[in-house]
Amino acid sequence: MFKSIRLSLLAGCIATACQAHAAPAGDLPLMPWPQQVSRPAAEGSLVLDNSVSIKISGDKLDGATERWRKRIAQQTGWQLQPAQANPAKPTINIHIKNAVDPLPKLGSDESYTLSVTADGVQLTANTRFGAMRGMETLLQLIQNGPQNTSIPFVAIKDVPRFPWRGVLLDSARHFIPVKDILRQLDGMAAAKFNVLHWHLTDDQGWRFASAKYPKLQQLASDGDFYTQAQMKEVVRYATKLGIRVVPEMDMPGHASAIAVAYPELMSAPGPYQMERHWGVLKPLLNPANEAVYKFADTMVGELAAIFPDAYLHIGGDEVDDTQWQESKPIQAFMKQQKIADTHALQTYFNQRLEKILEKHHRQMMGWDEIYHPDLPKSILIQSWQGQDALGAVAASSYRGILSTGFYLDQPQSTAYHYRNEILPQGLNEVDRITKADSAQSWFFSMPRLKGKPVEGSFTLVNNEMAWRGFIDFKGKSRRAVRDIEWLSPTQVTFTVDTWMGETRPVVTVDKDRLSGYFLVGNVRYPATGQKLDSVPDGVQPVVPAAEQMNNILGGEAALWAENISAPLLDIKLWPRAFAVAERLWSTEEVKDIDNMYQRLQAIDAWTTVSVGLQQHTAAVQQFTRLAGTTEIMPLQILAQAVEPAQYYTRQHLKFQAGNYHHFEPLNRFADALVAESSQVRAMDGWVDKLIADPEDGNSAESLRHTFTRWQSNTPDVLALIDGSYQLKALKPVAEDVDRLAGIGLRLTDMVAKQGSLSGGERDDIQKQLDKAAQTQDEVIVAAVYPLQKLLRASIK
């Protein structure tokens, strides 16, 4: 069924000549980028005024005209003339070919065509869902230009690449009020996401009201839960936007909240207390207790009455089997049922649960751990373990979606998420060593702040002065590396995207010893190792056959809430989620990173005005609270130079300090920051241009202006820091930024004048950069890295 949906969409695309540009062309601020965009040779635009009118034919979209008129009014600032009931010559004419059930389903037709000419706008779609997606494209095209408000002449043919394009919101760890969820749904619709994955239960809280098991909300929610009426409100609102809502009720693990309310359902006796700490915890439902299945049956029935989607997510991840191993009754049950081990016991539980779901006309969805050949092919597996796990699922004729690489609660660069290809990729023989090649392999060990060290090996291959390479992380498949650069005869760096984020080793390989650090995101992790005698055997990526790729239905961005509360939601999700949306909607060939950032900047502004997202107002609120005044410009300038520590560094630091729990306040400067500094990214570009052309006066002047501004800001930001105990730990960061600004001015002049530093000055600057690169108050002075490039360019 689902394969035929994918193939029919593809066939329709071919039939209508839906060819994507290799990269988006022109200055259209569209995201996700459509499958085909055509501009007329004689460019022009449709000029709008406040008489703009909308006509919808072919289906009844209750409230859509009013909603879209409001959006246009917000974008233009106009008071629109009263809407006409049935305008004869509408500005925007929307024709829907087929009236369908308003409830969105997996595989609903979301294709559309859009034409803007001097005669007006014609939007045609097979269903209401395509009309909704096409209207978001049109709203992005409305431009307030130098002369007027207009829509450029354009012809668009569009259809999504994947049918499952979701966002996971975690209401279990930090509760999210309904009003904030509805706003995220507006953002999702704008980005053409079509699934809200609502994580409703976990160890730290049960977040929905049960009629039959009321102690769940009474004892295990701290009073923060959704009534059935509120959940139905979310479903109704999502449906109007063409978005499915898939609830998640985690079982048999992540069950501490259930344990507080109904300890008799657990695998070890109570009593249990509300769990305040984050992590993988021990309470498990008891698969040998029939009352557990009665509980599951009741809960599935209650959720099915609220959430009409065909899928219900049962979690199933991170099961610590200690309680099962230590329970004599459970061990006896396993022996009686001839269940070999606890993994098979979880499969037994899932088989029982799958039958309950089938009884309520629902299909099972869960994380990687539920994958087992004894479960029917109808289940859907969400992968947090990566493309290899997803590839194995698809190759075994099970359906799956990807979340690895789309964890937006991790403050990673947008480029990292944007490069994350959903379909598993092979190595294209990067690791094939020929007689003409010279290869060297190195073992490495990278200790982390929490958990085992990351270990493995990398191999660098030289052939006629061209370098290539690959890396083998322990327990992972082999990956190709890129951007290999020898910084000196013994110091090398390269880049590879990993489950931790963008990873860039900067290591010295000398006398068979390896030392240095791995830059994971923006955080340095020390590394050691030694040379290997031979190239190690590696594990090849799991790449399904072409026809099996159809089992991969798409992916989901995930926003886990250990470090995110409702006031921070928009800051952490938007606009980065648009990059994930583009990866799920647009063709694989649309992947120019610089172009993506250019369009993302326009989308960021558009979403705050047209959609009402609050990433900027929320940041202003957080800075104002920290500063104790509305004069927050000093903090905003400081924020240009720094970023929150990336990967899971912040979580691991909290764990080391004993603060990895629900009551740790999310009130730091780091909490108010976006994932990456656009100013540092711009600086990086100016540095590259200046190094390539020392006579590039524009780049040099842009750098000088930035550094001078940072220096001038120092007295003001230090005054704010001295007046707020919540900012005290930030003082060394502000002082480092001041010193680095002085270094930046010195290095910019040195590169522009093609001078050379003395050895002593070079070493002193390197020490200051290394010091400033350390994590302080959970932030990193990201400006270190463009300065590091300038320093290297200053050494002759």
Question: Is 531 in contact with 440 (CB distance < 8 Å)?
Answer: yes
From 318, 320, 688, 716, active-site residue: 318
309 is catalytic: no
What is the Cα–Cα distance from 194 to 130, expressed in whole angstroms?
11
360 is catalytic: no
How many residues can be counted in the chain?
796
Place of tokens 């690791």: 431
Tokens of 105: 């389903």
From 21, 197, 254, 313, active-site residue: 254
DSSP letter string, 195-226:
EEEEE-EETTEE-B--SS-THHHHHSSTT--B
Q: Which of 500, 544, 189, 559 is nearest to 400 (CA)?
A: 544
From 59, 186, 202, 582, active-site residue: 202
What is the Cα–Cα distance from 533 to 302, expressed in whole angstroms?
61
Pairing of strands 205-206, 201-202: antiparallel
DSSP 586: S
Q: Which of 314, 384, 379, 374 is nearest to 347 (CA)?
A: 374
Reduced to 3 states (helix: H, G, I; strand: E, B; else coil), residue 359 is helix
Question: Is 43 in contact with 153 (CB distance < 8 Å)?
Answer: yes
Question: Is 552 in contact with 568 (CB distance < 8 Å)?
Answer: no
Pairing of strands 643-644, 779-780: antiparallel
Tokens of 607: 């979403």
- Sheet of strand 36-38: strand arrangement: 36-38, 154-158, 112-117, 120-125, 92-96, 54-57
DSSP 31: S
Question: Is 187 in contact with 603 (CB distance < 8 Å)?
Answer: no
In this structure, which long-range contacts are made by residues 769-776, counting pairs with CB atoms below 8 Å and at least 24 apart in sequence? 769/740, 769/743, 771/736, 772/736, 772/739, 772/740, 773/524, 774/524, 775/523, 775/645, 775/649, 775/653, 776/729, 776/730, 776/732, 776/733, 776/736
What is the Cα–Cα distance from 769 to 339, expressed in whole angstroms?
58
Listed in sequence order, the residues at least 6 apart from 618 whose beta carbon sits closer than 8 Å to its beta carbon are: 567, 568, 569, 570, 571
695 is catalytic: no
Q: Which of 708, 711, 689, 710 is nearest to 700 (CA)?
A: 689
Using CB atoms within 10 A of its CB, is residue 360 exposed (0-12), middle (13-18) or buried (19+)?
middle
The b-or-e profile of 136-171 (16+ CB within 10 A means b, else e) is: bbbbbbbbeeeeebbbbbbebbbbbbbbbbbbbbbb
Residues catalogued as catalytic: 202, 254, 318
